[in-house]
Amino acid sequence: MAEVRLNKVRKAYGAQVAVHGVDLHIRDGEFVVFLGPSGCGKSTTLRMIAGLEEITTGTIEIGGRDVTRLEPKDRNIAMVFQNYALYPHKTIYENLAFGLRMRRMDKAEIDRRVKSASAMLGLDPYLERKPKQLSGGQMQRVALGRALVRDPDVFLLDEPLSNLDAKLRVRMREEIARLHQEVGTSMVYVTHDQVEAMTLANRILIMRDGHVQQVGAPLEVYDRPANLFVAGFIGSPEMNLIEGHLERGALKAGGLSIELPPGIAAAEGTPLVLGVRPEHIGVGEAPGAHAFHVAVIEQLGAQTLCIGEVAGVRLRVLMDRTDAVRNGTTLPIQFRPGRLHVFSKETGARINRADADVGRRPAA
């Protein structure tokens, strides 16, 4: 168990910079998820922590020890790979024991640790099998077990669930969460799946093009996305982003005028982007309601997603499940100032302050 510190960690391949300087302090026992689209530098950052990728500049500390120039084996980390990376010619038992054998651990202790990890992950029936005789989910559990037996300072997981089917992914997600609770070791987890990030993380680090966009608790990044990229990336269905300009405390976009929350520090006429989550648009008659013309309906089961337009602006509205809405229906909707996210169109940065109302469920 240990904390991990990344100090201005940068990675460049020649002139091409893959990671532009990451500063991060992962607390002891914390579960941090690196989230971002492919090629954003999240895996590279993880691999730099592992020592599988050289660091161009910056330093990495694990448990207060500078490991920047150390080999992976000397960092006391364990890693779970996307394609499991199990040794195909070794049995499951040998796969689990290999890292311990290489460290010349006592045989009885190896056996104790392998048995304990195997029991924890339900691998007992498979110990004598070869990896190719296991299913994808079982192989991923072996890969987790291989990390677990090592009792490392930190677990590094590189998209561990992306080779699994949707149902298994949910189950393994729960298993990883349970594992983290039981062992309490710091975990760094890379994924491009925001649901995995939201459900597993204590904190999420969102990256794009090698730059850190935001670091925060899952609900924090959901409630207060730091910029347009995070706003669009976190949340499903995606946040509505409406382009317009500031006019007397409201956003003007086409024929639409939406009252903004107070405290927008921008000059009259400034181009802005307004973000509003589909689930935060109120539906029902109220003073100042806008007419929303539904064009497409997507039934999601518990909820209904309506896609359409309001005064020429395209919009997605998520409401509790209803059968009453049809294509062509016009619904009265309202934007609540407390649930709006305002971004500068020029820089993409968030410009409205925190608001106590943001993120809470609307009153029924």
Partner 1 sequence: MSSKATIYSFLFLGLAVTALLIVAPVVYAVSLSFYQMDSFVGAPKWAGLDNYTRMLSQWVFWRALINGFIYSFGTIIFQVVLGIGFALVLNQVFPGRNIVRGLSILPYLLPTVVVVLTFKWMVDGSIGVLTTMMSALGLPQVQWFESPGAAMASVILVSVWMWTPFVTTTFLAALQTVPSSLYEAAKVDGTNAVQRFFHITLPMLKPILTVIVLLRAVWMFNKFDVIWLLTQGGPVGATEHLAILSYKQAFGQFDIGGGAAVATISFAILSLVVFIYFRLFPLDTE
| Residues of this chain that bind partner 1 (CB under 8 A) | 50-52, 71-73, 77-79, 81-83, 85-89, 98-99, 102-103, 146, 150
Q: What is the closest distance, in whole angstroms, from the C-beta atom of residue 84 to partner 1 in the complex?
A: 8
Contact predicate 206/24, CB 8 Å: no
Find the helix packing angle between 107-121 and 166-183, rounded to 10°. Answer: 130
Please state the closest distance from residue 155 (CB atom) to partner 1, in A: 11
**Strand-strand pairing, 256-259 and 303-310:** unpaired
Residue 126, helix vs strand vs coil = helix
Asked whether 364 and 229 are in contact (CB, 8 A), the reply is no
Least spacing, CB of residue 299 vs partner 1, in Å:
41
Annotate 23-70 with three-state secondary structure.
Answer: EEEECCCCEEEEECCCCCCHHHHHHHHHCCCCCCEEEEEECCEECCCC
**Min dist. Cβ of residue 77 to partner 1 (A):** 7
Which residue, 150 or 180, is less far from partner 1 as judged by CB? 150
Amino acid in position 195 = V
Q: Which is nearer to partner 1, 77 or 183 (CB)?
A: 77
Q: How far is the CB of 5 from partner 1 (least distance, A)?
A: 20
**Min CB(82)–partner 1 separation in Å:** 8
Residue ranges of E strands in 109-210: 154-158, 186-191, 203-208
Least separation in angstroms between residue 78's CB and partner 1 is 7
| CB closer to partner 1, 79 vs 283 | 79
Coil/strand/helix, residue 202: coil
Closer to partner 1 by Cβ: residue 57 or 83: 83
Nearer Cβ to partner 1 (50/228): 50
Nearer to partner 1, 26 or 313 (CB): 26
Minimum CB distance to partner 1, residue 184 (Å): 21
**86 vs 358, beta carbon nearer partner 1:** 86
Give 182's contacts (C-beta < 8 A, 6+ positions apart): 120
Closest to 274 (Cα-Cα) out of 253, 291, 292: 253
Q: Using the 8-state DSSP alphabet, how is residue 363 labeled?
A: P
Nearer to partner 1, 99 or 359 (CB): 99
Which three-class secondary structure state does DSSP give residue 95? helix
Minimum Å gap between C-beta 85 and partner 1 is 4
Burial code of 284-300, b = ≥16 C-beta within 10 A, e = fewer? eeeeeebebebeebeee
Q: Is 188 or 294 the residue whose CB approaches partner 1 more closely? A: 188
Residue with tokens 């407390």: 338
- How many angstroms separate the Cα of 268 from the Cα of each of 28, 274, 352? 47, 15, 15
